């Protein structure tokens, strides 16, 4: 199992870089408890790291909040969901 500390140590980017990617300079309050605090964006946005990202998300106490907030995100792993999984979920819940 990959630990959050290991991912933080391996990360290439700081939180500020992720803020630039997400275009969210202000984080929601729930993010203070996120398992990915301090883990670089490369873990969540490079397909080769998706399994490590999912592993971290599955242990995250705020995954539900994250899933709701990330519903329309196009790129990256959020709440253990790949872009494809999010797209499928959006289609499934879209009005006909
Ligand atoms: S569920 Fe969201 S907030 Fe939690 S570790 Fe995954 S990406 Fe970060």
For residues 59-77, average pLDDT = 95
43 Cβ below 6 A of ligand 1: no
Task: Report the nearest atom of ligand 1 relative to the CA of 79.
Answer: 1
For residues 36-52, average pLDDT = 91
CA pair distance 71, 90, nearest whole angstrom: 7
CA pair distance 39, 10, nearest whole angstrom: 8
Residue among 7, 32, 66, 69 whose CB has most ligand 1 atoms within 8 A, to mutate: 66
57 Cβ below 6 A of ligand 1: yes
User: What pLDDT is attached to residue 61?
Assistant: 97
The answer to whether the CB of 64 falls within 8 A of the CB of 52 is no
Confidence category of residue 66, pLDDT binned at 50, 70, 90: very high
Q: How many residues does the chain have?
A: 96
Confidence category of residue 24, pLDDT binned at 50, 70, 90: low
């Amino acid at each position: 199992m990959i630990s959050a500390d290991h991912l933080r140590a391996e990360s290439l980017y700081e939180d500020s870089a992720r803020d630039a990617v997400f275009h969210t300079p202000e984080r929601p309050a729930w993010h203070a408890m996120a398992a990915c605090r301090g883990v670089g964006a490369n873990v969540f946005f490079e397909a080769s790291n998706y399994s490590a990202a999912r592993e971290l998300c599955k242990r995250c106490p705020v995954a539900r909040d994250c899933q709701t907030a990330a519903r329309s995100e196009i790129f990256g792993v959020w709440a253990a969901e790949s872009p494809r999984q999010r797209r499928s979920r959006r289609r499934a819940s879209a009005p006909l």
